Amino acid sequence: MFHWDRGLFLTPAGLAVDVCRRQPRGFISHAHADHLGSHELALCTPATACLYRHRRGARRRVLELPYGKPLEFGPFQLTTYPAGHCLGSAMLLARQSSESGRSRTLLYTGDFKLQATATCVEAELPRADILIMESTFGRPKYCLPPRAETIARLIELVRSILAAEQTPVLHLYPLGKGQEITRLLTIAGIPVLQHPMTYAISEIYRQCGVDLGDVSQHDERTLIDGRVPPGHAVVTLPRGMRNFRLRGILRPVSIAITGWAIDPAAKYRYGVDHALPLSDHADYHQLMETAQRVGAKKIYCTHGPLEFVDHLREAGFNAFPVTGSVQTRLF
């Protein structure tokens, strides 16, 4: 019924799920590059469709799956649920009815987190018979501090950098983290200049009804005498990403914001002055909570450490790993 081959396949429907290789029909959980394929027909939420076309071309064929609206697709009924990861991110619930009239359900989480954020709809977790979950932070040491606490630390840090007449430079992914942190800063009254690549995606957020406040593109027009105007924070790309450029920045103080910052050495690894622990992925507690709430008879774990499967088993769940290249029949 379902198999895994560097991504999930709903075999009887001929539907690939988050497979990056081109497919005749592919569901895209969200528009991050590691989940995105240029498919002949893509299935995704309307917001992901906007981001997909922005990234892969305006003429891409898409069948839109708005949250909570079931679609009959081959032998399945497909429904998307908010995944809380970035604009448009979705979990996929596939329901298959058997001849006896009994149905069984599979929930694929894609990348997800459970808390509400400033720029993303809060995740919903339907119950399912089979759960396929990402488990990026599947080690007990990855229990992140409360989000509100990290946000307060961030705002305090940015204010102190500005007070010292330096420029806060935040290195963030251009889809998701870039917009969320921008919104948190503008809510706190701190205007933001964004890297053009981040800004182009922020425009799509705006078109989808997500207002980011006082934000402009970081280019010649927004600089004053070639400099970032006082009082502004700069949101740019992670270090090492292409198109990385910083112009007109006086005395930069660099900040990374990532779940991996729970590790005290993270700021050296990222080559930044400060690293704060906040993530768009579920932390260890949330992963365990997800397993509990979905109530699945079988759980398959992807994108995370193998030891997470052991943690689930110790907690009484019937859990298995699915890894990159292994062909596995899940049913």
The region, left, alpha or beta by phi > 0 then psi within -120 to 50, assigned to residue 206 is alpha
Question: Is 32 an interacting residue with respect to Zn ion (CB under 5 A)?
Answer: yes
Q: Is 269 helix (H, G, I), strand (E, B) or coil?
A: helix
Using alpha carbons, select from 168, 139, 189, 180 the residue that is nearest to residue 279.
180
d(CA 295, CA 125): 10
Q: Report, in Å, the least distance between residue 32 CB and Zn ion.
A: 4
Q: Which is nearer to Zn ion, 84 or 248 (CB)?
A: 84
Q: Report, in Å, the least distance between residue 282 CB and Zn ion.
A: 12
Q: Could you write out the DSSP letters of every residue in 25-76?
A: EEE-SSSSGGG----SEEEE-HHHHHHHHHHH-TT--EEE--BT--EEETTE
Question: Is 18 an interacting residue with respect to Zn ion (CB under 5 A)?
Answer: no
Q: Which is nearer to Zn ion, 32 or 218 (CB)?
A: 32
Q: Report, in Å, the least distance between residue 228 CB and Zn ion.
A: 29
Question: Is 99 an interacting residue with respect to Zn ion (CB under 5 A)?
Answer: no
- The residue range among 18-26, 34-42, 92-100, 316-324 that interacts with Zn ion, by the rule CB under 5 A, is 34-42
Residue ranges in 191-250 that form contacts with Zn ion under rule CB under 5 A: none
Question: Is 72 an interacting residue with respect to Zn ion (CB under 5 A)?
Answer: no
Q: Which is nearer to Zn ion, 84 or 168 (CB)?
A: 84
- The residue range among 28-36, 123-131, 164-172, 227-235 that interacts with Zn ion, by the rule CB under 5 A, is 28-36
| Binding residue for Zn ion, selected from 19, 23, 84, 111, defined by CB under 5 A | 111
- The residue range among 26-34, 113-121, 210-218, 233-241 that interacts with Zn ion, by the rule CB under 5 A, is 26-34
Question: Is 34 an interacting residue with respect to Zn ion (CB under 5 A)?
Answer: yes
Using alpha carbons, select from 116, 115, 108, 120 the residue that is nearest to residue 47.
120
Q: Which is nearer to Zn ion, 210 or 233 (CB)?
A: 210
Q: Which is nearer to Zn ion, 113 or 274 (CB)?
A: 113
Q: Which is nearer to Zn ion, 117 or 186 (CB)?
A: 117
d(CA 189, CA 200): 22
CA dihedral (143, 145, 148, 152) positive or negative: negative
**Please, what's the b/e burial string for 277-310 (b: 16 or more CB within 10 A of its CB; e: otherwise)?**
bbbbbbbbebbbebbeebebebbbbbbbbeebbe
- The residue range among 27-35, 115-123, 165-173, 208-216 that interacts with Zn ion, by the rule CB under 5 A, is 27-35
Question: Which residues have C-beta within 8 Å of that of residue 200, sequence separation ≥ 6?
Answer: 54
Contact 322, 132 (CB under 8 A): yes
Q: Report, in Å, the least distance between residue 29 CB and Zn ion.
A: 8
Q: Report, in Å, the least distance between residue 207 CB and Zn ion.
A: 20
d(CA 32, CA 38): 13
Using alpha carbons, select from 46, 128, 123, 69 the residue that is nearest to residue 94.
128
Tokens of 213: 């406040």
Q: Which is nearer to Zn ion, 87 or 131 (CB)?
A: 87
Q: Which is nearer to Zn ion, 162 or 208 (CB)?
A: 208
Determine the size of the site formed for Zn ion (CB under 5 A).
Answer: 3
Alpha helices, H only, the chain: 46-56, 147-163, 177-187, 196-207, 266-270, 284-294, 307-314
Q: Report, in Å, the least distance between residue 84 CB and Zn ion.
A: 11
Q: Report, in Å, the least distance between residue 260 CB and Zn ion.
A: 14
Q: Report, in Å, the least distance between residue 59 CB and Zn ion.
A: 24
Binding site for Zn ion (CB under 5 A): 32, 34, 111
